[in-house]
């Protein structure tokens, strides 16, 4: 059918459709070219150099501080509390008088026992003299043997009474000494629990005051039961250092030594409890304070280290992105021996001074051009994260390393997305191609459209 034979309205509609199809076909090629141009732009990344250094390997655990000794000071006799000789929070020495109870009842008991001793001693002396007389008379057969034997029994009886009186005196003196309440340990006093003038009893549950020994001080912390064999093996080699940090892990509170590993594992938590002793002259550690404990398990000598955030993980294992002299990104498989704090110890796959990407991995593809800048103001891996002392350790022997990019990076050989990448052939994508065929498919919008160029180019696609 010829166009001239159609009605005018149909001719207009046909012409409009023809022009629309022509515009779509001509705009497909510029859109694809703009997308390829955006993808070829250098990707801004941060890099750090692999370094060789001695790396301490720590086992991290949460715990709390406990006083080395805690004593509730109680009265051992009943009486009126006459004087309190300490102030709250005062440092006291062992044997120092803390309070005094009215001593008069105990002095009276002492005097009574001393009087009884004097009486019985006099009676014993008199009966011994009588015994000597009876013995003499018995030799002369002037008295019956029974009288001499009775006198001997009287002497023994009063000798026993004297011994009892001496024991009563010792007990009275002991009770009198209890009228002075003394500190049983060196430590610091807490809040006073009773005031002067009150009647104090030995049966009182609260006592007078609590004294705690703060130097040295103990830290109780837990570790997973899987770490127990390594800890015991390290303990056999010598003293095991333990460091304590505050709850956030950024303030060093002290360095101590492991003193005991508990003799049983907690089945409900699968952890074992450990105790370390810390010198505490500045009193940075305080009872019941929550801390992070770091047990120094080993020191790896001359190890290759990189920032832990550089380590990525895919189905085939761990890898890193490296940047060569031509400023292109490459995937390098590595073997991670341990991740301690902010550093990863590499046993295979990297050499000293190799540049690894620590930020921007999610935008990289193998062979992509990069615009690299040094992370942390030019610090290497040997210095990167040296001040991150409180970071919890991730012990990963074949396990998943930590870091914000622990998942497989897009475009890596291990990433599932690489299976959908378009084969390189220099061909332009067809206008009806699926999103998986596009070089920017599977990437976030912010990555597909740098500076808005790719977004503008794709706007004309059908």
Work out the average pLDDT over 23-29: 52
Q: Using CA atoms, how far apart are residues 430 and 214, in angstroms rounded to an integer?
A: 77
Q: Using CA atoms, how far apart are residues 99 and 181, in angstroms rounded to an integer?
A: 5
Give the model's pLDDT for residue 241.
95
126-135: pLDDT as tens digits: 999 988 888 8
- Give Cα 76 distance to the centre of its chain: 41
Residue corresponding to tokens 């309440």: 181
Alpha-helix residue ranges (DSSP H) falling in 84-184: 104-139, 145-178
The confidence band for 29, taking pLDDT boundaries of 50, 70 and 90, is low
What pTM does this model have?
Answer: 0.60
> Do the beta carbons of residue 137 and residue 143 sit within 8 Å?
yes
pLDDT above 90 (res 434): no
> Do the beta carbons of residue 384 and residue 80 sit within 8 Å?
no
Structural domain spans, the chain:
80-101+182-207, 104-178
pLDDT above 80 (res 437): no
- Measured on CA atoms in the order 135, 141, 145, 150, is the torsion positive or negative? negative
Classify 104-178 by CATH class.
mainly alpha
For strands 317-323 and 241-245, give the pairing.
unpaired
Q: Using CA atoms, how far apart are residues 61 and 249, in angstroms rounded to an integer?
A: 11
Q: What is the mean pLDDT of the chain?
A: 79
Work out the average pLDDT over 53-71: 92
Give the model's pLDDT for residue 230.
92
pLDDT above 70 (res 458): no
pLDDT above 50 (res 424): no
Helix (H) or strand (E) holding 402: none
**What percentage of the chain carries pLDDT values higher than 70?**
73
The confidence band for 376, taking pLDDT boundaries of 50, 70 and 90, is low
> Do the beta carbons of residue 370 and residue 43 sit within 8 Å?
yes
Instruction: Please report, for residues 187, 197, 206, 284, the alpha-carbon distance to residue 89 in angstroms, rounded to integers and kept in the order given.
Output: 10, 21, 18, 16
Phi, psi of 282 (to 5 degrees): -90, 0
pLDDT above 50 (res 401): no
Work out the average pLDDT over 160-186: 95
Q: Which of 56-60, 68-72, 352-356, 403-407 has the lowest mean pLDDT?
A: 403-407
Collapsing DSSP states into helix, strand and coil, what is residue 234? helix
b vs e for 56-85, b when ≥16 Cβ sit within 10 Å of the residue's Cβ? Answer: ebbbbbebebbbbbebebbbebebebeebe
Q: Which of 57-71, 201-215, 409-423 has the lowest mean pLDDT?
A: 409-423
Helix (H) or strand (E) holding 1: none
Burial class (CB in 10 A: 0-12, 13-18, 19+), 282: exposed
Residue bearing the bigger pLDDT, 424 or 322: 322
> Do the beta carbons of residue 231 and residue 274 sit within 8 Å?
yes
141-170: pLDDT as tens digits: 888 888 888 889 999 999 999 999 999 999
pLDDT above 70 (res 422): no
Residue bearing the bigger pLDDT, 340 or 405: 340
């Amino acid at each position: 059918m010829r166009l001239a034979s159609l009605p005018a309205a149909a001719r207009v509609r046909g012409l409009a459709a023809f022009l629309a199809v022509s515009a779509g076909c001509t705009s497909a090629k510029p859109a694809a070219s703009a997308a390829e141009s955006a993808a070829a732009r250098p990707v801004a990344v941060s890099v750090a150099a692999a370094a060789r250094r001695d790396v301490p390997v720590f086992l991290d655990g949460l715990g709390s501080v406990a006083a080395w000794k805690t004593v509730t000071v109680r009265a051992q006799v009943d009486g009126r509390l006459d004087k309190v000789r300490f102030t709250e929070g005062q440092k006291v020495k062992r044997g120092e008088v803390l309070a005094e109870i009215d001593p008069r009842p105990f002095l009276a008991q002492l005097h009574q026992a001393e009087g009884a001793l004097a009486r019985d001693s006099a009676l014993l002396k008199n009966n011994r003299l009588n015994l000597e007389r009876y013995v003499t008379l018995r030799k002369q057969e002037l008295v019956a043997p029974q009288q001499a034997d009775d006198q001997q029994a009287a002497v023994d009886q009063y000798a026993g009474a004297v011994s009892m009186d001496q024991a009563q005196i010792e007990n009275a003196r002991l009770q009198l000494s209890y009228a002075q309440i003394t500190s049983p340990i060196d430590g610091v006093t807490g809040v006073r629990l009773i005031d002067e003038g009150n009647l104090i009893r030995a049966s009182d549950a609260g006592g007078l005051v609590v004294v705690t020994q703060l130097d040295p001080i103990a830290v109780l912390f837990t570790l997973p039961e899987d770490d127990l064999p390594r800890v015991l093996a390290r303990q056999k080699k010598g003293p095991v250092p333990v460091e304590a940090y505050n709850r956030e892990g950024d303030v060093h509170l002290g360095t101590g030594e492991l003193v005991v590993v508990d003799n049983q594992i907690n089945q409900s938590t699968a952890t074992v409890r450990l105790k370390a002793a810390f010198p505490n002259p500045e009193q940075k550690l305080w009872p019941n304070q929550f801390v992070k404990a770091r047990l120094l398990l080993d020191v790896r000598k001359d190890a290759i280290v990189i920032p832990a955030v550089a380590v990525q993980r895919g189905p085939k294992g761990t890898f890193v992105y490296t940047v060569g002299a031509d400023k292109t990104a490459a995937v390098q498989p590595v073997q991670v021996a341990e991740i301690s704090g902010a550093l990863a110890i590499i046993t295979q796959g990297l050499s000293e001074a190799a540049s690894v990407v620590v930020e921007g991995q999610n935008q990289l593809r193998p062979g992509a051009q990069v615009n690299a800048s040094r992370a942390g103001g030019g610090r290497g891996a040997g210095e990167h994260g040296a001040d991150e002392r409180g970071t919890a350790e991730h012990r990963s022997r074949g396990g998943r390393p930590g870091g914000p990019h622990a998942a497989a990076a897009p475009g890596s050989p291990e990433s599932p997305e690489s299976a959908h990448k378009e084969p390189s052939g220099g061909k332009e994508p067809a206008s009806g191609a699926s999103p998986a065929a596009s070089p920017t498919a599977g990437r976030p919008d912010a990555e597909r459209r740098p500076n808005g160029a790719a977004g503008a180019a794709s706007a004309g696609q059908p």
